Structure 1
Amino acid sequence: MKLSQATTMLDAAHAEARRRGVSVCISILDAAAWPVAFIRMDGAPLGVIDVANRKARTAVLFQMDSAEFAKIGHPDGAAYTLENTNGGLASFGGGLVLRAPDGSMLGGIGVSGASTHDDVEIARIAAATLVA
């Protein structure tokens, strides 16, 4: 994950959050789950800093979007309480795996602070800049 890619994604996510009238945190990690870029918009609650990071970490560590991870981590799922591993993960939408056009994993993005639907859509718009 290049810093230039991460900042382009941050810009796209930030613009979409403003368009939707929401304040979020956006965390972008590389393929080893290390931070590359982060912003906390004015008005975003402090608690969503950690949530955005955990959503991105979940996507990277399990190589699946956090919404998909939720399908196995819920009380009736095959791996209930899995979110308690790896220093804490997120089992709801807003974390996406970031892939290069050739399919290789670049890292993950986590968005938190709005509704889960808005978090996911903001992350998708940011991720789409990787193929533009």
Structure 2
Amino acid sequence: MRNPVLALFLFATVKLVSVLAPVSASAQQPAVAPPAYPLDAVPDKMPFATPYGAPIALARAQAAIAAAQAEAEKRGWPLNIAVVDSGANLVAFARMDGAQLASVAIAEHKARAAASFRRPTKVFEEAVQKMDFKYVLTLDGIIASRGGIPLIEDGKLIGAIGCSGGTGSQDEVVCAAGAATINK
């Protein structure tokens, strides 16, 4: 080509078309819908709607603690065990020999959260750990650690048991033994 300006113009045009071609091709592709936001799901029924019942009696609370304590002793896990009534008020408490002091308040907190929110505290742990729903931690009274289990009798929540001092899974195992005296 004898005209260098024309050659430069044609070269620049070819380069520009080759750069823009992928952009225009991708603009013509159908848009992929973003995944649904999990919190936008609307359940048909109200979750965790177990009605509150009459408060657990002291003797039943102590029996639940005794069963939990027996499980903890069998495994060599010194724990703190709390039982609250359907209003989340402390009814009975046991601190096993050697259980860590910081876990006294945590066991009570787990029991209160399980009663107040009518669900095991494991639900909150999973919301934060598995689903990354960190907003759960902003709710008053939440504890995102397993080891709090509601106590249900005749379809009504009569209280909850909370255990602390071990790992979350150890606390849950011991609580489940205590809850089994009522939840059947």
Tell me which amino acid in the other structure corresponds to 1:61: S
Residue of structure 2 in register with 1:63 after alignment: 118
Residues 72, 79 of structure 1: 8 Å contact kept: no
Per-residue CA shift, 1:2-60, capped at 9, x if unaligned?
A: 11111111111111110000100000000000010001111111100011011111101
Q: Secondary structure at the match of 2:122?
A: helix
Residues matched between the structures, number: 128
Distance 2:78 2:58 in 1: 23
2:160 is aligned to 108
Aligned counterpart for 1:49 among listed residues 88, 95, 104: 104
Aligned mates of 1:99, 1:20 — CA distance in 2: 26
Match of 1:96 among 149, 154, 170: 149
1:128 aligns with 2:180: yes
**Aligned position for 1:82:** 138
Normalization by structure 1: what TM-score?
0.89
Q: Secondary structure at the match of 2:176?
A: helix
Contact 2:137 2:144 in 1 (8 A): no
Q: Secondary structure at the match of 1:15?
A: helix
Q: Which runs of 4+ in 1 moved over 6 A?
A: none
Whole-angstrom distance in 2 between the partners of 1:42 and 1:124: 21
- Aligned-pair identity (%): 34
User: What is the alpha-carbon distance in structure 1 between the residues aligned to residue 157 and residue 177 of structure 2?
Assistant: 17
By relative contact order (CA 8 Å, sep 6+), the higher-ranking structure is 1
